[in-house]
Structure 1
Amino acid sequence: MPGVPVTSRVPGGAAVAAPPGPPEPRQSPEQRRAADIIRLLTLYRPLLDAFVIDFFTEDLWAQLPAAWQPALAGATPVQLAGLLGGSGGPGAAWPLSLLAFAAAARALAFPRGCPARCPHPPCQSSRLPPPLRRHVKPKKQHEIPRLGKLLRRLSRATGCERVVDVGAGQGHLSRFLAFGLGLRVTAVESDARLAGLAQRFDRELLRELGKARRAPAHGGHPLTPRAPRHVAGRLDPAAPWAEFLLPPEPPGAGPAARNPLGGPGGSEDGERVLVTGLHACGDLSPALLCHFARSPVVAAVALVGCCYMKLSTAPRQPPGYPLSASVAALPGHQLSYRAREAACHALEEYQGRLRGGGAHLRAHCYRAALESLIRAAEPAKRHLGLQPGRKAHGLSFPEYAQLGLPLAGLDPAGVPLDSGAVGAMLEQQHKVVAFCTLGQLLAPAVETLILLDRLLYLREQGFHCALVPLFNPRFSPRNLVLVAARTPLDTALAGLAKDTGDGDSSEDEEPEEAASLRERQSPQ
């Protein structure tokens, strides 16, 4: 124990008391959680790093604890769904070590909010006025008004009315912020073609508003005929904040536009800005956090991460992961590509598939069997990015393989598709499904570690920050929004659940407890 003298012996002498060492530094709850997650992942590293397509080629089932194998082999999909959700499943009798593993994985992962009863998002969201639903998929319709209202709260709390939307794509969020909420918006997109498409959609909406005698109302307020300003440019993660952008893609699409974060004098017109990114892919999220940390004109940031497998790791500076000194100092913090890919899984969707059964559950077994056939024919070919088709699981396996083998450069006529070995693999579909379920149990803990790393990085810089489960995880698996500001967030987040949960109940959604995950917001 720190501060307690430790006795030791010198050769040939009596016992002496060693002076007390320096007390261990006090860890925050977030640091302890990160350390606990790393210990859990270290214990189950082989499971975490395994690719399901190697199920047969590397005999992954035999690598599971022997006590788990009979219970998992005999489990029904509904019982596996219960294991994911913590209910055990009807009639399930799991080994205590498996229950402890599942309980630890669930306890260490951030709560993701309550999924709605409806298994699919609504076709149209009543929270968006009809003109702003155009060209927008249902998933985005679910996300945009919720993130928009959070940004409006940040705008009021910080006194900033200008928002910079990075990775804006076709501009759907930017359009809602500008036309629907009246904010001044700069949309930054690395693909010049998408930026051009966003401008075209803006012009369509402006023409519609110009023709209407009365602007369409949103939440009792008319839409504002103020379009976002679109900038084609790529974020430079390593540049000083005053050199925010690089020329857009594709090459030759044009020079980098004026930096929306501005130079030493401030933003475009000297104002402070809010920065947001809805599903900022790979290194884009940590790069935006770094720019926020070193750019005094950015008052606050609200980010939803995505595509964790694309995160860079050391020695790149700054790396995508780990970003914080706290996590980087923990032994075993490293995450493989496979682990980061697992963090992108849609746990609630998979749980729904288990409960519903059906042909979807064949997909992993089919792909693992196909991998075995490919490796048997040409051992050098492995982990090829084959996509026989989105609905290929509905086919028989010979039909599936006849689509997939040519993608690997193999002639299906030379591969035995109806052999006893193939039949034996297909009979193990229930084991493949059980193995996938174990990976799904770890996925939220991996995502939590990545998000904790970002939270701790911000705390180390002295900022106020919180993680909020803003979206319904069944509709939007990456539903945790990282919010950070230079001032306390209490005002911005107070009552957020009510603000983002209003609207027409015809959407068949339950309001999320959006602020239920608020971490301590005072800097350490």
Structure 2
Amino acid sequence: MSPPCRAARPSPSPPFAGAAMAAAPAGPLRREQQRAASIVRVLALYRPLLDAYVIEFFAEDLWARLPPSWQAALAAVPPPRLAAALLEPPGPAAAAAAAVWPLSLLAFKATAQALAFPRAPPPHRHRYRHRHGGRPPEFRRNPCQSARLHPLLRKHVKPKKQHEIRRLGKVVKRLSEAAGCDHVVDVGSGQGHLSRFLAFGLGLPVTAVEGDSRLVEAAKRFDQELLQALEKAQARGAEVPLSPRGPRHVAGRLDPGAPWSQELLPPEPGPPGGAGNPLGPRGRERVLLTGLHACGDLSVALLRHFVRSPHVAAVTSVACCYMKLSAEPPACSYPLSAWVAGLPGHALSYKAREAACHALEEYAGRLRADSGALRTHCYRAVLETLIRAADPSKKCLGVQTVNKAHALSFPEYARLGLPRVGLDPAALPLDSEAVQTMLRQQQKVVAFFSLALLLAPLVETLILLDRLLYLREQGFQCALIPLFDPQFSPRNLVLVATRCPLGPVLSALDEDSGEDEDSGEDEDSGEDVALPGGSPPGRPQAQPSTEGQSRG
């Protein structure tokens, strides 16, 4: 059972350890506990920066909250230099860009980068990023089609998802074999792209569980399209390395409090009623549970099912939407581990958890390119001051996204945004000297947001480290793997856990990674390569047909 949630005890300068902490064992667990304690302390020290909303930059004078030496160093730094000095990994370029920065600012950057889980791919991939415009090498020939995924499995699937399902599918297959699993359950399966790859592409028995019945119907329709295309190819005598067995789709939501229940909660939307729970008792069958970007509490529910149900032999979880986590008893999804729950000051605000979902690598790319999109935060911050001046009760209201806001002048942007909060643009000074003065401070807004963004990986690391510690406290083998290319898929850390030794699986994944990145000759051949991981049972290896390829 998961430990009870504990109320946060904020502290202006929390210690690393205290009486509330559990005794720390030696070895890897001890190192993970120390990292969690260090992150909690660092986040507490910089909480005003982490919890600040950039739209309040002018309204709350956020720039004045920075140390004077930081203000002087950052006020006029061009965006490309800011990217190199602040957000990019340590190296000669970063050191040169920040050569005259105050030591406290350099220490802030070094600490944040040292404590965050590594998100970058292995070093040997950097040559591909340099040569192929930042995309994984599988997209060298076509930026919208993975050359390592069968054309029938690419239909309806965006490039980012193609990259994700192929790499996660290989992990699931390896883990399933190592744990002796008979069945895979994909929770939060959406339109079934991962389930389809696991079943048709890798020959695994799969049940897909999705709470939105409309998505379930779409997934079934896509399965039928694939089967029809497969039958046509076979009728022509073509050998296609796909299994003819698709996934089973179930509309429903797992009950995280009753993993052995025979019923699923009703789907949303959908009629009342339940279906057989694929995680319920299944005789001697062993289940692998997976979730690709399972939103909010769902990613935690997967781990709790794994811990509580002996039928679940392994789990892979790629999380997202941390701001949707339940942080209050009794349905507490953070913290999970006894260790993090015992750290004074461990609580994370909604703003901090929201920040953990930002794409740091993408923003660094905008800085490097000195993109016009950088002015969007400044526009919104100026708009916030106008809104509050007109009506002090309207603070931090949600303003629906203005398309291509950076391509507009500020008055044009404001005329679109103000009516969305019930204000008349004609009644407000949109081109006053005060507005122009704020707009001239765009670089300060960018620098402040970049500082806060540097803490985002620390928050994500703490949340995932808490889950890792929770599983280790229960005695399970587990690891966090940077599986996806972070520039392509920002939420790229997958948590894997088993009831058996995990070492051989991790070694095999390292080999898979090397094969993926060193197989450029396959992608230059002009033909699609066969699916990774070998042919499904009973199917020969063959070069796939290009029929059914979707166009990006």
The aligned amino acid for 2:308 is: R
Q: Deviations over 1:103-157 (max 9, x none)?
A: 0000000011237332356311112100110000110011111000001101111
Whole-Å separation in 2 of the counterparts to 1:25 and 1:241: 33
Aligned to 1:4: none
Aligned to 1:301: 315
Q: Is the 8 A contact 1:283 1:311 kept in 2?
A: yes
Tell me: CA distance 1:207–1:370, structure 2 relative to 1, closer, same or farther (3 Å): same
Whole-Å separation in 1 of the counterparts to 2:274 and 2:95: 55
1:41 aligns with 2:35: no
Q: Is the 8 A contact 2:262 2:276 kept in 1?
A: no
Which of 352, 370, 374 aligns to 1:357? It is 370
Q: How many Å apart are 1:237 and its aligned residue?
A: 2.2
Whole-Å separation in 2 of the counterparts to 1:215 and 1:422: 68
Aligned to 1:190: 211
Aligned to 2:512: 499
Whole-Å separation in 2 of the counterparts to 1:124 and 1:371: 41
Which of 472, 489, 493 aligns to 1:480? It is 493
Aligned to 1:55: 57
Aligned to 1:14: none
* Secondary structure of 2:146's aligned partner: coil
Q: Is the 8 A contact 1:42 1:332 kept in 2?
A: yes
1:106 aligns with 2:113: yes
Aligned to 1:199: 220
Aligned to 1:271: 285
Equivalent residues in 2 for 1:7-22 (5 A)? none
1:427 aligns with 2:427: no
Whole-Å separation in 1 of the counterparts to 2:172 and 2:240: 18
Q: Is the 8 A contact 1:79 1:89 kept in 2?
A: no
Q: Deviations over 1:286-330 (max 9, x none)?
A: 11101110000000000000000111112123x110011110000
Whole-Å separation in 1 of the counterparts to 2:275 and 2:406: 46
1:176 aligns with 2:197: yes
Q: Which consecutive residues of structure 1, in runs of 5 or more, have no partner in the other structure?
A: 1-20, 509-524
Aligned to 1:250: 269
* Secondary structure of 1:67's aligned partner: helix
Q: Is the 8 A contact 2:322 2:353 kept in 1?
A: yes
Aligned to 1:17: none
Aligned to 2:258: 239
1:369 aligns with 2:367: no
Whole-Å separation in 2 of the counterparts to 1:270 and 1:228: 21
TM-score scaled by length of structure 2: 0.83
Whole-Å separation in 1 of the counterparts to 2:135 and 2:330: 40
* Secondary structure of 1:237's aligned partner: coil
Q: Is the 8 A contact 2:212 2:270 kept in 1?
A: no
Aligned to 2:81: 79
Aligned to 1:18: none
Tell me: CA distance 1:91–1:49, structure 2 relative to 1, closer, same or farther (3 Å): closer
The runs of 4+ residues in structure 1 deviating greater than 6 Å are 214-217
Tell me: CA distance 1:91–1:38, structure 2 relative to 1, closer, same or farther (3 Å): closer
1:414 aligns with 2:412: no
Q: How many Å apart are 1:454 and its aligned residue?
A: 0.1
Aligned to 1:30: 32
Whole-Å separation in 2 of the counterparts to 1:170 and 1:322: 31
The aligned amino acid for 1:74 is: A
Q: How many Å apart are 1:238 and its aligned residue?
A: 2.4
Q: How many Å apart are 1:24 and its aligned residue?
A: 8.8
Aligned to 2:545: none
Whole-Å separation in 2 of the counterparts to 1:244 and 1:322: 28
Aligned to 1:94: 101
* Secondary structure of 1:444's aligned partner: helix
Q: How many Å apart are 1:248 and its aligned residue?
A: 0.3
Greater CA drift, 489-498 or 119-128: 119-128
TM-score scaled by length of structure 1: 0.88
Tell me: CA distance 1:410–1:222, structure 2 relative to 1, closer, same or farther (3 Å): same
Whole-Å separation in 1 of the counterparts to 2:411 and 2:326: 39
Aligned to 2:302: 288
Aligned to 1:16: none
Aligned to 1:7: none
* Secondary structure of 2:69's aligned partner: coil
Q: Is the 8 A contact 1:233 1:256 kept in 2?
A: yes
Whole-Å separation in 1 of the counterparts to 2:412 and 2:261: 56
Q: Is the 8 A contact 1:215 1:222 kept in 2?
A: no
1:313 aligns with 2:323: no
Q: Is the 8 A contact 1:388 1:403 kept in 2?
A: no
1:160 aligns with 2:167: no
* Secondary structure of 1:495's aligned partner: helix
1:260 aligns with 2:278: yes
1:381 aligns with 2:394: yes
The aligned amino acid for 1:373 is: L
* Secondary structure of 2:394's aligned partner: coil
Higher relative contact order, structure no. (Cα contacts within 8 Å, ≥ 6 residues apart): 2
Tell me: CA distance 1:381–1:244, structure 2 relative to 1, closer, same or farther (3 Å): farther
* Secondary structure of 1:440's aligned partner: helix
* Secondary structure of 1:201's aligned partner: helix
Q: Is the 8 A contact 1:113 1:472 kept in 2?
A: yes
Tell me: CA distance 1:153–1:244, structure 2 relative to 1, closer, same or farther (3 Å): farther
Whole-Å separation in 2 of the counterparts to 1:388 and 1:261: 40
Tell me: CA distance 1:168–1:137, structure 2 relative to 1, closer, same or farther (3 Å): same
Q: Is the 8 A contact 1:170 1:198 kept in 2?
A: yes
The aligned amino acid for 2:315 is: V
Tell me: CA distance 1:242–1:167, structure 2 relative to 1, closer, same or farther (3 Å): same
1:339 aligns with 2:352: yes
Whole-Å separation in 2 of the counterparts to 1:125 and 1:168: 21
* Secondary structure of 2:500's aligned partner: coil
Whole-Å separation in 2 of the counterparts to 1:210 and 1:131: 12
Tell me: CA distance 1:221–1:205, structure 2 relative to 1, closer, same or farther (3 Å): closer
Tell me: CA distance 1:62–1:337, structure 2 relative to 1, closer, same or farther (3 Å): same
Tell me: CA distance 1:95–1:38, structure 2 relative to 1, closer, same or farther (3 Å): same
Whole-Å separation in 2 of the counterparts to 1:54 and 1:232: 42
* Secondary structure of 2:68's aligned partner: coil
The aligned amino acid for 1:235 is: L
Q: Is the 8 A contact 1:209 1:215 kept in 2?
A: no
The aligned amino acid for 1:325 is: A
* Secondary structure of 2:273's aligned partner: coil
Which of 123, 134, 138 aligns to 1:119? It is 134
What is the RMSD of the two structures over their aligned residues, measured on CA atoms? 2.1
Q: Is the 8 A contact 2:22 2:338 kept in 1?
A: no
Tell me: CA distance 1:224–1:111, structure 2 relative to 1, closer, same or farther (3 Å): same
Q: How many Å apart are 1:250 and its aligned residue?
A: 1.0
Q: Is the 8 A contact 2:50 2:352 kept in 1?
A: yes
Q: Which consecutive residues of structure 2, in runs of 5 or more, have no partner in the other structure?
A: 1-18, 137-142, 525-552
- Percent identity among equivalent residues? 66
Whole-Å separation in 1 of the counterparts to 2:366 and 2:40: 29
* Secondary structure of 2:290's aligned partner: strand
Tell me: CA distance 1:101–1:216, structure 2 relative to 1, closer, same or farther (3 Å): farther
Q: Is the 8 A contact 1:145 1:500 kept in 2?
A: no
